[in-house]
Amino acid sequence: MKVIAFKKLSKDDQNLINEAEKIIQNAYDPYSQFYVSCAILTTKGNIYKGVNINTCAYGGICAERAALSSMVSCGEYGIKKIVIISKSDHFKVKIHSGPCGICRQMLWEFAELYKTNFEILVSDSDKKKVMISTIEELHPKGFGPRLCFGKYRRYLK
């Protein structure tokens, strides 16, 4: 796990973060005003995006799971890279926390299914610094398909 300057990222990685940032204003969280956007680059080269949605009951969906849902809804399952950016109405987001536990588990499912240790890039709100890690770093020894007896062949496209 490392933190580097946004400007030192490859142009492709910068563009992927910019894609996530483009839709962050669509996030729905009128209660905490903490907005998150995510973009997933698939093994087929497509990009799927999602934003967080939080309700008055403080239940909702994270941006990572929204992007995953979009990806799976389109029949894709292989992840090459994921980027996340957060913003707030109250402060500059400088902490690089990465996905929540539920999102890590869901991402792990597809990492293990496709045997990919994909990168996760988490940008601060000003796009000055980016934390780069892998799913295995964020979710070591995760519970996944290898421990279950599901019928996975149809998803290995």
Nearest to 42 by CA among 17, 9, 18, 75: 75
Nearest to 84 by CA among 71, 57, 66, 60: 66
* Residue 49 near residue 23, CB atoms below 8 Å: yes
Q: Which residues are CB-contacts of 151 (< 8 A; sequence separation ≥ 6)?
A: none
- With b for 16 or more beta-carbon neighbours within 10 A and e for fewer, the 35-47 pattern comes to bbbbbbbbbeeeb
Nearest to 40 by CA among 78, 72, 83, 75: 83
Identify the active-site residue in 64, 76, 109, 112.
Answer: 64
Rounded to whole angstroms, how far apart are CA atoms 23 and 5? Answer: 22
Specify whether 119 is catalytic.
Answer: no
Which residues are marked as active site? 64
